A and B are shown apart, each in its own frame.
Chain A
Amino acid sequence: MIAVLIITLVVVLIGAAGYLVVRSRPRQDSGMSSFRRHIDALSPEARREVQDRNKRQREDEG
């Protein structure tokens, strides 16, 4: 009974360790997608909202 418990525990620990190792490895596309999001957020389309809001504010203030 104890042997079964120990084996189960060891299997669970090995599985958990394996999962953590896989998760900690950087995904090959994470740098690319993060850079893409960064560049997209700086595009003129993304910036239009802030620019338009400021333009409206300036017009309202005369």
Chain B
Amino acid sequence: MLFTTHQYLIFFVVVFTVYWAMPWQRLRVYLLLAASFYFYATWNQWLALLVTGTATLDYFLARGIDSVQRRGLRRFFAGTSIAVNLGVLGFFKYTNFFLSSLYEAFNIAEADRYLLKVIIPFGISFYTFEAISYTVDVYQKRIKAERNLPNFLLFILFFPHLVAGPIVRARDFLRQAHRPKRWSWIRAQHGVQLIVIGLFKKLAIADFMAIYSDRVWLPDQNIAVLSTQAAWMAVIAFTIRVYCDFSGYSDIALGCAHLLGYKLTVNFRMPYISLNIAEFWRRWHISLSNWLRDYIFIPLGGSRGGFWFTARNLIITFGLGGLWHGATWCWLVWGLVHATMLIVHRAFREFAEARPSLKAALETKVGITVRWLVTLFFVTLSMAFAQPSLTAALTVLKKMFVWQVGPDIVGLPVDQNRLWWTVYLVVAAHVVVLLGLWKWVWRRLPGPVLGAACAILFVTAQVLSPDTANAFMYFQF
């Protein structure tokens, strides 16, 4: 059930109405739990049971960790929980990757026949990370194990974040699950605004950009005939699409959660205005980058050692981060490319800090513009690795830098002006927010005008939505 469908609208309206009509606080948790299970089961009931089953196991193992003092036993419970979660993730997501890589290495013919026939559960990477972070936090005594099973299950299964995040932390969510919910108009308004903005990003921008980028990104496309201009257009379209798709999803998830009285972690803070790659990762998929930092990078030693020690940790963290996105060599390379960019940034920062004149130059308006452009350029280039295969990624990169004439976007009978208008719109939206105009205007607008504006934006998003009902890109992760 996609957030952008009528089915979801009906589902949400029913859940929302019953939820707030219900006078019993405890029952609300049960209602949300049932709704979340139904939400996932509409896609696959067996996998919904699997998620519920592993979450229940995590609950009992965490209770075990909390109730015993012996270190070995605590470690056993924590290890079992992590192993089960990683085992399920590995089986569904990575088995075929390793098998196909193995078959390829040994040149086994018709390797596809020997792959497992499994479907990857939607959002498995998200709820696995949530469950692992909970177990680790309980093991490290950062939080107490949750005593209420429905509350814990809701933490994992809560439908707004279930399939594509944000990756919530137990300490943030469980507190809210215990707290009685009271209707707040302010919160509801915030939720509605987030939903409308998210829908606009997804329907009017991301799904439209997909028309351009799919001609290059889908596996069966003939990218050999791509012109340089087309390659650039496709990469730019993909860069905008991936941001609007995922941040649009996150906005809708946050908005829906707000309407039900829950606050989820903010996942994006305009990442494309970042002045360096480290800042980019503080603005892009924040819940994942925080998770990687807290549960991989810091336990590895973080940046407490020397330059090369930090570089090693970054490579491991982002290599795993790349594989988290997708079980392909391409995603691994994508992660390593980002690790390399972070290492280079770190080296350059140390270099610049030792040279006050260079540091001052980088803080001027020209310096800031150059830093922004360089960051955006490399982030955009890295998007080329979000391809089905490394060969395809390298072909796209080659097309971008080795001049080639050819059809604009292979056989695409669509007006390219709309692509550029959409790019201008995205840039303008960033400028408006960056200059503070957005807050300045919307805090001054009378309620009725703001409501009407939201309705018009909602309708415009629908009118500009293309033919396809694309699933959110991050569902596959």
Decide whether A and B assemble into one complex: no
* Chain A residues close to B by CB (< 8 Å): none
